[in-house]
Structure 1
Amino acid sequence: MRVTQNMLSNNMLRNISNSYETMGKYQEQLSTGKKLTKPSDDPVSAVKGMSYRAQLTEIEQYERNMNEVHTWTENTDAALDETTGALQRLRELAVQASNGTYEEGQLKNIGAEVSQLKDHLEDLANTEVNGKYLFNGSDTKNQPVDTGATPSKYPNNTDEVRIEVSKGIKVDVNVKGESIFSEKLFDDLDKFINNLNGTGTGNMEESIADLDGHINNTVNERADLGARMNRIEFIEQRLDTQKVAATDMLSENEDAELEEVITKLKTQESIHRAALSVGSRVIQPTLVDFLK
């Protein structure tokens, strides 16, 4: 086959164009820090990248769910802590009033404090965070306790509030108000107050026993909540591990190794300069040069 000057020139121009394209690819990788700028660069890696991103998006959503979980559990735990303190103070007052040395006026003063603690327990039962009542099951828009209403209102929704914290894993974040702020609790407090005011038919020993039962219920519910909070911490740690792993896989799949890219770019620049040098010699001779 006869090789002409035109063929040499075309081959040279094509190779130089390819060299520019290669250098452009390396320069783009350096400027973006990514090996892939479009799916056609590596279809298989592009599909993997979509999968890794979907996994990261899912994990980030679970992390946002975790924030909601912490809001529920931490505020519930704080409310139960105050509830336990109030009930213990009520028991102290019951023990104090049972020694038989207090006069009628002193007992009424104790009754006034008990009334205030009763109101405080009602406030705790109606703990509201971000527009949601914590102790009324899934009916989070309506307050669970209103002793001033006719008839009085107490927690009656026992549905669980469940939040998904990992794929296929949902945890209960609420404590059933019925088990702590029940109608019996407020009835027992009213009986206690009536006894202190001299209008009741019971005795202080009964009030102490009632309060012991309510304290035990609260402690048990708080212990159960604490166990769930411990489990939530383990799940959160696993999410952190999964996020790091997915991020590393995505980085390995798409991020450019800058040292390697710089080396390739320098090598390609040397090749390109050599190609230009050779090309200048190929296209330099003309018919006039041969006629001289």
Structure 2
Amino acid sequence: MVRVTQSMLSTNMLRNLNTSYSKMSKYQDMLTSGRKFGRPSDDPVAAVKGMNYRVQLDKVNQFQRNLNEAEGWLDTTDSSLDQVGEALKRIKELIVQASHDTNTPDERAKIKVEIDQIREQIKDVANTQLGDKFIFSGTHTQKELYTKVQVVDVQGYYNSLGATDPHKAEFESGDTARIQAVIDTINNPKFFKEIRVLNTPESGVGNPPTGFADVKSEVFSISDPSDPTKKIKIEPLDLQVKGPAGSVPMISETGKKGKVELEVFNGIQLTVNTDFGPELFDQIDNVLTKVSNVLADANATSEDISEKLGGMSTNLNATIADVQARVLDARADVGARMNRVELMTNRLDIQKVNTTKQKSLNEDTDYAETITHMVTQESMHQAALSVGAKIIQQTLVDFIR
């Protein structure tokens, strides 16, 4: 049988009091911080779970940021295509108006001017940016789809020549070499006009020195102001290109068809751009170029003009109706992806709520339960102090008192 001494009683009492203080301190920390544990060592299993929950929440937050960016891309694309659709609608009205036989050449010329301005507006839309990114340039988001170049304004130069000017006769002769010599003599900046051409490899076909063959359709022939029926054909190779044409980086064949994708969920990539944007705007511009050329032709009949409206053309994307249908297809595709973004947003919101709830259950303090434990522990502590005061042997000081 072990003899229990006064020293053992005192030591045990002090140890138990320290343990009681430790428990009350723990409950106090839980109430103050709102967390079940302050260090991973307090509850390693809960700490590991908490880290996993935080990783999931970080992913959800990043996916939500990606979805916000995707929504911005798709909203901007949809509004841009809507502007293109309205522009084509207006062009269709103008073509219907121009196709009437009652129109004079002057009236058709005025219609052509408006159509040319709408064509430039569509090029503006093609260069739409979201932040610092061009949304219709495929994966070349830092390069504009249409770039500015300068071409010789042959018509302006021809109009500036007097009737007796020998250069005018050289133009009228149609001699390609001599016309080129005349163009080479132009030094006045006013005889250059700035245009925008598609910044893709196709722009270089047939015109290697400049890299932009699209300028050929801009000035194909000139007309004599004194005789509108008189046309002077200018060979495409006679057109000089100046400005940034040689230094502008091209949008590659792969890049213009590339997809800009954002991860919106684990392993799920959402395409946010219209990957056939360069092709779409190139087709629109080709159709509008043909429309403009027909309106500039004094010999064009109402049937020639009406043909550009289309509806059942044999040449794909050769008429206004064809490109309008293509724009509608593009908008339908964008709309479907916008619906997908909305569904993914709802899914992430639900996952965020569920993960946050599990994280809270794993880490956060249950105040009602903790307060109950705290009050119970305080009662036990007070009882321990009371009993301990009776167990501790009185000292000589107590007797002297």
Give the TM-score of the pair, scaled to structure 2. Answer: 0.69
Structure 1: give runs of 5+ residues left out of the alignment. none
Instruction: Provide the residue aligned with 2:339 in structure 1.
Output: 230
Give the match's secondary structure for 1:248. helix
> Which deviations, in whole Å up to 9, do the C-alpha atoms of 1:178-231 show, x marking residues without a partner?
34201x321221221222233575821222110000100000011011111111
Query: 2-side partners of 1:239 and 1:64: how far apart?
Result: 11
1:289, CA displacement in angstroms? 6.2
Query: 2-side partners of 1:287 and 1:5: how far apart?
Result: 15
Instruction: Provide the residue aligned with 1:247 in structure 2.
Output: 356
Structure 1 window deviating more from structure 2 (117-126 vs 93-102): it is: 93-102
Identity across matched positions, percent: 42
Structure 2: give runs of 5+ residues left out of the alignment. 148-194, 198-211, 216-249, 311-318
Contact (CA 8 Å) 1:179, 1:217: kept in 2 or not? no
Quick check: which one's strand share is greater? 2
1:271, CA displacement in angstroms? 1.1
Give the match's secondary structure for 1:143. coil
Say if 2:196 is the partner of 1:148: yes
Give the match's secondary structure for 1:148. strand
> Which deviations, in whole Å up to 9, do the C-alpha atoms of 1:28-67 show, x marking residues without a partner?
1111111121112211111111111111111111111111
Q: How many residues align?
A: 291
- Counterpart residue type for residue 80 of structure 2: A
Query: 1-side partners of 2:67 and 2:268: how far apart?
Result: 12
Contact (CA 8 Å) 2:264, 2:270: kept in 1 or not? yes
Instruction: Provide the residue aligned with 1:79 in structure 2.
Output: 80
Contact (CA 8 Å) 1:191, 1:200: kept in 2 or not? no
Question: Structure 1 stretches (4+) deviating beyond 4 angstroms?
Answer: 153-156, 199-202, 287-292
Contact (CA 8 Å) 1:72, 1:134: kept in 2 or not? yes
Instruction: Provide the residue aligned with 1:177 in structure 2.
Output: 277
Query: 1-side partners of 2:72 and 2:349: how far apart?
Result: 19
Query: 1-side partners of 2:330 and 2:24: how far apart?
Result: 67
Query: 2-side partners of 1:148 and 1:165: how far apart?
Result: 36
Say if 2:16 is the partner of 1:15: yes
> Which deviations, in whole Å up to 9, do the C-alpha atoms of 1:88-116 show, x marking residues without a partner?
11111111111222222221211111111
RMSD: 2.1
Query: 1-side partners of 2:309 and 2:397: how far apart?
Result: 121
1:258, CA displacement in angstroms? 0.5
Structure 1 window deviating more from structure 2 (103-112 vs 198-207): it is: 198-207
Instruction: Provide the residue aligned with 2:171 in structure 1.
Output: none
Query: 1-side partners of 2:375 and 2:77: how far apart?
Result: 62
Instruction: Provide the residue aligned with 2:6 in structure 1.
Output: 5
* CA 107–10 in structure 1, closer or farther in 2 if over 3 Å, else same: same
Contact (CA 8 Å) 1:194, 1:200: kept in 2 or not? no
- Counterpart residue type for residue 193 of structure 1: S
Query: 1-side partners of 2:379 and 2:83: how far apart?
Result: 75
Output aligned runs, 1:1-292, within 5 Å: 1-146=2-147, 148-149=196-197, 150-152=212-214, 156=253, 157-175=256-274, 176-182=276-282, 184-198=283-297, 203-209=304-310, 210-286=319-395
Structure 1 window deviating more from structure 2 (148-157 vs 134-143): it is: 148-157
Give the TM-score of the pair, scaled to structure 1. Answer: 0.93
* CA 199–22 in structure 1, closer or farther in 2 if over 3 Å, else same: farther
Instruction: Provide the residue aligned with 2:150 in structure 1.
Output: none
- Counterpart residue type for residue 272 of structure 2: V
